[in-house]
Amino acid sequence: MADALKEIGCNKCFGGFLKRYQHQSDSVQCTMKFQVYFPPGAVTEKFPVIYWLSGLTCTDENFMVKAGAQRVAAELGVALITPDTSPRGLNVEGESDSWDFGVAAGFYLNATVEKWKNWRMYDYVTKELPQVLAANFPNLDTSRASIMGHSMGGHGALTIALKNPLKYKCVSAFAPICHPINCAWGQKAFTGYLGAEDKSKWEEYDATVLVERYNGPKMDVLIDQGGNDQFLKDNQLQPEAFVEASKKNNVAVTLRIQEGYDHSYYFIATFIEDHLKRHARALFS
């Protein structure tokens, strides 16, 4: 894997370096790209990592370009990792027919329908990418990791953290899709990737179901949700369902409705510093 990793971009930023890489993925069987922001001092120090999972239509680049997170990461001494949102270049029939399924819409699950067998973003994010980082970057401490995301990526961050509570020190989300088995985006994705016959497969990737069944160590979750988010109004996100389900188990959820904010990166940029500081406190504790 180390021989396959190739640096394809590098920019100095707030004293550190934002670098883009590509490699041949074993999980999804195609070339995958990801970005790493190395804070200042990464040549001689070892830093914990925060994984950011992006939403529908996004790539590995959106967060790094739009969120304004590098300044805060530089000050806190944390590395930021942004994977892509799906396999690309496989030329599966219909993969680009719609914006909410296929390319750029991997939903951070392992598909079981044969046609979409390469859509294994859950394995990529939780297993392969951390292994690639550990094998190639001795200045990154992948044993100290946290996870966060937006929209579809918020869904990914919540479900991955709930399924792997000992792997991540902290989890937070912006406008996550909290109850995908009960909304149009999730039903379309889960039918396509997991099939319609066995709905129990869907429950494995639904944060509201997972938090209701959770029996792991104490977990604190922060969710910021724009009050003027069109997708909140369209019932795609359903954070209240997640909060209600969390009351049954050892999960403390802070849901902040940020009035006037929408679903965009303007919303994320406004509150990203608060999230990163929360993650840093957990990572350095």
Based on the residue annotation, tell me whether 151 is a catalytic residue of this protein: yes
Q: Which of 229, 246, 275, 279 is catalytic?
A: 229
Which amino acid belongs to residue 180?
P
Contact in structure between 201 and 116 (CB atoms under 8 Å): no
Based on the residue annotation, tell me whether 263 is a catalytic residue of this protein: yes
Q: Which of 86, 151, 172, 246 is catalytic?
A: 151
In 3-state terms, what secondary structure has residue 52? Answer: strand
d(CA 191, CA 272): 33
Q: Which of 23, 155, 179, 263 is catalytic?
A: 263
- Dihedral class, residue 167 (left if φ above 0, else alpha if ψ from -120 to 50, else beta): alpha
For residue 39, give the DSSP letter: P
The residues pairing with 87 across neighbouring beta strands, listed in sequence order, are: none
d(CA 19, CA 182): 38
Based on the residue annotation, tell me whether 155 is a catalytic residue of this protein: no
- Give me the active site residues, please: 151, 229, 263
